[in-house]
């Protein structure tokens, strides 16, 4: 077989895509680090922007508005123009957002956070797209699982490593500029390493961009999947990544170091929980059952924090909560199996949109009801912590109730939805 044979050419392209996937996974790591890092620097950001902690939470919440909306177009852009330009473009947006967020002006910092959300929407979608080109079908699920682990590890490092970093090594401003520069460097390497694709040969990619979403959004199961996932993500993206350190410092009287360590256990738990619950859903052959098991475990942890917060070390409970919250990824599988094969990319964009729209709505409610009073001298800390964790208990109960209306798509249930084709 000659060096220029089709088989050799295909192998070299697959290897190039696999390398590009690895770089896109680093993008996902950095994206999650930028998402979670503000939780460990709330007082510093409050001082820098000249606003209250509640005002900082409002700025941080802007991330989810652009993340959710941009998720709808990320998959379409990849289908139309391929990954060589689209994924590095997302990284450029994230890098610019990080650098702007370092400027201590509310309007510029807000614009930076919006750009961070918009750029981050290309991370997971881009990594999955590249993995599908770089790995065989029998290795694809493993590659996607490792992608998710990279992201979750970034979320953990964005808290447990950044906390000490900004309290003795670098300033908050230097951290965000440095993170932006790192993202830019990775984007440059990714652009060079990603093969150029012949996407023009796919006429479907250049059709009506709304057609796939019309199919997905006409399916009630799509809304249920997004709502369940959103309600499961809210306690981690809002409760942990925005307010976690402050609540454990002020309400539980933890030291800064202990508070950072405790809340960093949640994203660390994701690293274990996402592949674990993916495996469980496959092993059981029942997505819905695995999802409900995860929700019930999350509820058990939340109830223990609410009614017996001293029964176990907080780090242990939050690690278990993080592992259980890996079940939040199961609706991403269900929505793909509940929709036709030819709209699976759009289904991912749709569930991202609904999931983080829920986060964008829940965040301000929690901030206005409970976040604004954290650390207030007239508030009983124990009572405040009880009410705050009870809020998340109710959110999880809502997720459990909605999940009951999902239709099973697993292979071992006779009532499973067939994968529809057109």
Domain positions in the chain are 11-195+203-208, 210-414
**DSSP secondary structure of 372-392:** GGTT-TTS-HHHHHHHHHHHH
Highest mean pLDDT of the ranges 28-32, 166-170, 200-204, 345-349? 28-32
* Helix spans in 235-325 (H): 244-250, 256-284, 287-307, 314-324
- CA angle, residues 235, 99, 87, in degrees to nearest 5: 75
- CATH homologous superfamily for the domain 11-195+203-208: MFS general substrate transporter like domains (1.20.1250.20)
Tokens for 305, please give them: 């924090």
* pLDDT (0 to 100) of residue 197: 72
* pLDDT (0 to 100) of residue 137: 56
Three-state DSSP class for residue 52: coil
Of 103-117, 186-200, 309-323, 390-404, give the lowest mean pLDDT range.
Answer: 186-200
Alpha carbon distance 294, 33 (integer Å): 24
The more confidently predicted of residues 70 and 82 is 70
pLDDT in tens, 147-174: 777 887 888 888 788 888 888 788 999 9
- What are φ and ψ of residue 67, in 5° steps? -60, -45
* pLDDT (0 to 100) of residue 61: 87
The widest CA-to-CA distance across the chain, in whole angstroms, is 79
Query: What are the CA-CA distances from residue 47 to residues 51, 164, 242 (Å)?
Result: 7, 18, 16
Candidates 124, 351, 91, 61; CA nearest to 227 is 351
Alpha carbon distance 12, 28 (integer Å): 24
| Statement: residue 319 has pLDDT above 70 | yes
* pLDDT (0 to 100) of residue 1: 43
Q: Which CATH class is domain 210-414?
A: mainly alpha
| Distance of alpha carbon 93 from the chain centroid | 17
The answer to whether the beta carbons of residues 173 and 41 sit under 8 Å apart is no
* pLDDT (0 to 100) of residue 282: 81
| Statement: residue 422 has pLDDT above 50 | no
The answer to whether the beta carbons of residues 105 and 49 sit under 8 Å apart is yes
Average pLDDT over residues 184-192: 94
| Statement: residue 414 has pLDDT above 70 | no
210-414 has the same fold as 11-195+203-208: yes
| Statement: residue 202 has pLDDT above 70 | no
Candidates 293, 321, 294, 291; CA nearest to 306 is 321
* pLDDT (0 to 100) of residue 306: 95
Say what the alpha-carbon torsion angle 380, 385, 386, 392 is, to the nearest 10 degrees. 150
Tokens for 326, please give them: 């890996």
* pLDDT (0 to 100) of residue 201: 43
Tokens for 3, please give them: 């060096």
Query: What would you report as the CA-atom Rg of the chain, rounded to the nearest whole angstrom?
Result: 21
pLDDT in tens, 134-150: 776 556 556 766 777 78
Q: What is the mean pLDDT of the chain?
A: 85
Average pLDDT over residues 104-114: 94
Q: Where are the beta strands (DSSP E) in 88-220?
A: none
Alpha carbon distance 76, 345 (integer Å): 8
Q: Would residue 375 be called left, alpha or beta, if left means φ above 0 and alpha means ψ between -120 and 50 degrees?
A: left
Candidates 367, 336, 359, 267; CA nearest to 66 is 359
The more confidently predicted of residues 176 and 10 is 176
Alpha carbon distance 401, 405 (integer Å): 8
* pLDDT (0 to 100) of residue 300: 97
Average pLDDT over residues 41-58: 89
The more confidently predicted of residues 47 and 17 is 47
pTM: 0.78
The more confidently predicted of residues 310 and 78 is 310
The more confidently predicted of residues 405 and 15 is 405
| Statement: residue 267 has pLDDT above 80 | yes
Model confidence band, residue 90 (pLDDT cutoffs 50, 70, 90): very high
Percent of the chain with pLDDT over 70: 88
The answer to whether the beta carbons of residues 27 and 127 sit under 8 Å apart is yes
| Statement: residue 344 has pLDDT above 80 | no
* pLDDT (0 to 100) of residue 247: 92
Q: Is the dihedral of CA 95, 53, 390, 231 positive or negative?
A: negative
In a 13 Å sphere around the CA of 298, the CA atoms on its Cβ side amount to 35
Average pLDDT over residues 301-310: 95
Of 78-82, 159-163, 256-260, give the lowest mean pLDDT range.
Answer: 78-82
């Amino acid at each position: 077989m000659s060096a220029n044979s089709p088989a050799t050419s295909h192998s070299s392209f697959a290897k190039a895509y696999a390398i590009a996937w690895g770089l896109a996974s680093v993008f996902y790591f950095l994206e999650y680090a930028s998402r979670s890092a503000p939780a460990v620097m709330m007082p510093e950001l409050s001082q820098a922007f000249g606003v209250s902690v509640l005002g900082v939470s409002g700025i941080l919440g802007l991330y989810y508005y652009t993340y959710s909306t941009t998720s709808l177009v990320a998959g379409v852009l990849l289908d139309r123009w391929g990954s060589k330009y689209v994924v590095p473009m997302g990284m450029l947006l994230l890098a610019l957002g990080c650098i702007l967020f370092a400027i201590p002006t509310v309007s510029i910092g807000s614009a930076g956070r919006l750009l961070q959300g918009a750029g981050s929407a290309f991370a997971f979608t881009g990594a999955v797209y590249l993995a599908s080109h770089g790995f065989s079908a029998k290795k694809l699920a493993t590659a996607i699982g490792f992608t998710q682990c990279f992201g979750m590890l970034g979320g953990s490092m964005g808290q447990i490593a950044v906390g000490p970093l900004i309290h003795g090594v670098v300033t908050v401003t230097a951290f965000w500029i440095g993170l932006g520069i790192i993202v830019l460097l990775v984007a440059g390497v990714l652009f060079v390493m990603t093969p150029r694709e012949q996407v023009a040969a796919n006429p479907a990619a250049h059709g009506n961009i709304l057609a796939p979403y019309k199919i997905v959004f006409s399916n009630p199961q799509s809304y249920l999947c997004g709502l369940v996932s959103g309600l499961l993500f809210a306690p981690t993206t809002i409760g942990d990544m925005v307010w976690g350190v402050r609540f454990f410092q002020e309400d539980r009287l933890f030291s800064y170091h202990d508070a950072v360590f405790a809340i960093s256990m949640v994203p660390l738990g994701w690293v274990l929980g996402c592949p674990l619950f993916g495996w469980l859903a496959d092993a059981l052959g029942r997505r819905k059952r695995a999802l409900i098991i995860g929700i019930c475990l999350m509820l058990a942890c939340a109830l223990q924090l609410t009614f017996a917060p001293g029964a176990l070390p907080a780090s242990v409970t939050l690690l278990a909560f993080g592992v259980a919250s890996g079940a939040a990824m199961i609706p991403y599988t269900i929505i793909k199996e509940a929709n036709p094969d030819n709209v699976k990319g759009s289904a991912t964009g749709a569930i991202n949109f609904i999931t983080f729209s829920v986060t964008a709505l829940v965040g301000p409610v929690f901030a206005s009801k409970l976040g604004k009073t954290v650390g207030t001298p007239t508030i009983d800390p124990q009572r405040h912590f009880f009410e705050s964790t009870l809020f998340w208990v109710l959110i999880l109960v809502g997720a459990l109730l909605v999940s009951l209306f999902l239709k099973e798509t697993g292979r071992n249930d006779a009532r499973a939805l067939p994968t529809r084709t057109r």
